[in-house]
């Protein structure tokens, strides 16, 4: 790719942790399993060769450095790991080409100060609702990159929202076995959905403060644990209208999914990044602002192609093969400003 072009990837590492070190529920990787994970991770990164990668489920920063070395990216890329990360929890992380990195990355823990999820209802038949939640369960990585000195700085966010697995509630003080045991699955799914929805709304507020009324290029990468038509993605993207043909548009505050941009390029959609009970879904996404949208009047980069590595999802041998239980996605963009766009 040319100097001003750029590519992004999202990669759920499925608990990349050093061998013998504890993970959740007391589990740990053996030496052989760890070596398999390193080889798989390095091989995928080498094939895709992204300029910017957002990772989820990283436990150990040294393990990521080893994987980058196997990929042949140790010299060209900088690993982004929280400075206080002690390997005792999973984190969002990154790998950015060294010549593109601008400033220091940050990990956003707290929701915006103005975040409020409380309402008496806009219908006289509705009861009051209030959600008391003030932080991301997985801190959001925010990093700035610049492909070339003649391009604008791009703000990249890497997120990992609450999974759709039902939250375990039997430890809660209010839990009563006789009353609640039959309903734990439904209640657990509801709690997970509320948490994921709140995280999406909090990140959307951060994005709006950055994007609205500006020409700031923004990319959001992550395991969002929901599909492109879900409420989670609707909150994040603000559901922009995708224009076709020679139409020109673009939304000041909108985010466009690379999934839809790829669908415009292909007559067949085989994009899935997760398999559960034989159902293939797209939970991992790359979202881009209007500066990356082909039909925007403010387009600076044109969409090139999305690649999805997901063949490994057809086998449930992730522990032994070192593979992830998510597909890995990569989207490339070429520097091609629209006529009259402000550079």
Q: How confident is the model at residue 214 (pLDDT cuts 50, 70, 90)?
A: very high
Token pair of 199 as six digits = 């995280």
Give domain 6-335's CATH superfamily.
Endonuclease/exonuclease/phosphatase (3.60.10.10)
Q: How confident is the model at residue 2 (pLDDT cuts 50, 70, 90)?
A: confident
**Element at 203 (helix H, strand E):** helix 184-211
Is it the case that residue 150 has pLDDT exceeding 70?
Answer: yes
Strand partners, 331: 8, 306
Strand partners, 177: none
Count CB atoms within 10 A of the CB of residue 39: 14
Q: How confident is the model at residue 191 (pLDDT cuts 50, 70, 90)?
A: very high
Q: What is the mean pLDDT of residues 320-325?
A: 94
> Coil, strand, or helix at residue 42?
helix
Quick one: how far is CA 234 from the chain centroid?
A: 15
Q: In the chain, at which residue ranges do the beta strands (DSSP E only) sit? A: 6-16, 52-58, 77-80, 91-97, 101-110, 118-119, 129-130, 135-145, 154-160, 218-223, 256-257, 274-276, 279-281, 284-288, 301-309, 328-335
Q: How confident is the model at residue 68 (pLDDT cuts 50, 70, 90)?
A: very high
The DSSP annotation for 55-70 comes to EEEE--HHHHHHHHHH
Is it the case that residue 19 has pLDDT exceeding 90?
Answer: yes
Q: What is the DSSP letter of 120?
A: -
Locate the domains of the chain by residue range: 6-335
Is it the case that residue 303 has pLDDT exceeding 60?
Answer: yes
Q: How confident is the model at residue 280 (pLDDT cuts 50, 70, 90)?
A: confident
Is it the case that residue 10 has pLDDT exceeding 70?
Answer: yes
Q: Is the pTM of this model over 0.85?
A: yes
Which pLDDT does position 245 carry in this prediction?
57
Count CB atoms within 10 A of the CB of residue 274: 21
How far CA 30 is from CA of 21, 85, 126, 200, 228, in Å, comes to: 9, 22, 53, 35, 36
Q: What is the DSSP letter of 249?
A: B
User: CB of 20 within 8 A of CB of 63?
Assistant: no
User: CB of 157 within 8 A of CB of 136?
Assistant: no
Question: How confident is the prediction for the chain on average, in pLDDT?
Answer: 93
More confident residue, 271 or 83: 83
Is it the case that residue 87 has pLDDT exceeding 70?
Answer: yes
Count CB atoms within 10 A of the CB of residue 9: 26
């Amino acid at each position: 790719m040319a100097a001003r072009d750029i590519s992004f990837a999202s990669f759920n590492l499925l608990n990349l942790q050093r061998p013998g070190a504890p993970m959740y529920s007391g589990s740990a990787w053996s030496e052989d399993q760890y070596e398999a994970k390193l080889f798989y991770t390095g091989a995928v990164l080498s094939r895709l060769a992204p300029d910017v990668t957002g990772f989820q489920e990283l436990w150990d920063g040294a393990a990521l450095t080893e994987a980058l070395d196997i990929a042949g990216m140790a010299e060209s890329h900088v690993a982004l790991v929280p400075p206080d990360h002690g390997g005792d929890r999973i984190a969002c992380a990154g790998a950015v080409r060294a010549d593109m990195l601008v400033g220091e990355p940050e990990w956003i823990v707290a929701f915006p100060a103005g975040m409020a999820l409380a309402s008496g209802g806009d219908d006289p038949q509705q009861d009051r609702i209030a959600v008391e939640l003030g932080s991301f369960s997985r801190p959001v990585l925010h990093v700035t990159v610049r492909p070339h000195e003649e391009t604008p700085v791009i703000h990249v966010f890497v997120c990992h929202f609450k999974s759709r697995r039902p939250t375990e509630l039997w430890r809660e003080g209010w839990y009563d076995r006789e009353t609640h045991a039959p309903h734990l699955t439904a209640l657990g799914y509801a709690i997970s959905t509320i948490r994921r929805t709140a995280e999406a709304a909090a990140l959307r507020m951060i994005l709006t403060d950055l994007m609205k009324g500006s020409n700031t290029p923004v990319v959001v990468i992550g395991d969002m644990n929901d599909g492109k038509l879900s409420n989670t993605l609707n909150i994040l993207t603000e559901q922009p209208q995708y224009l076709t043909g020679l139409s020109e548009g673009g939304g000041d505050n909108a985010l466009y999914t690379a999934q839809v941009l790829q669908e415009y390029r292909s007559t067949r959609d085989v994009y899935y990044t997760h398999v559960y009970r034989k159902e293939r879904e797209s939970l991992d996404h790359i979202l881009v602002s209007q500066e990356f949208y082909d039909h925007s009047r403010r387009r600076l980069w044109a969409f090139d192609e999305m690649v999805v590595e997901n063949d490994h999802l057809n086998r449930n041998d992730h522990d032994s093969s070192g593979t992830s239980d998510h597909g890995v996605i990569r989207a490339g963009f070429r520097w091609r400003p629209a006529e009259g766009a402000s550079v």
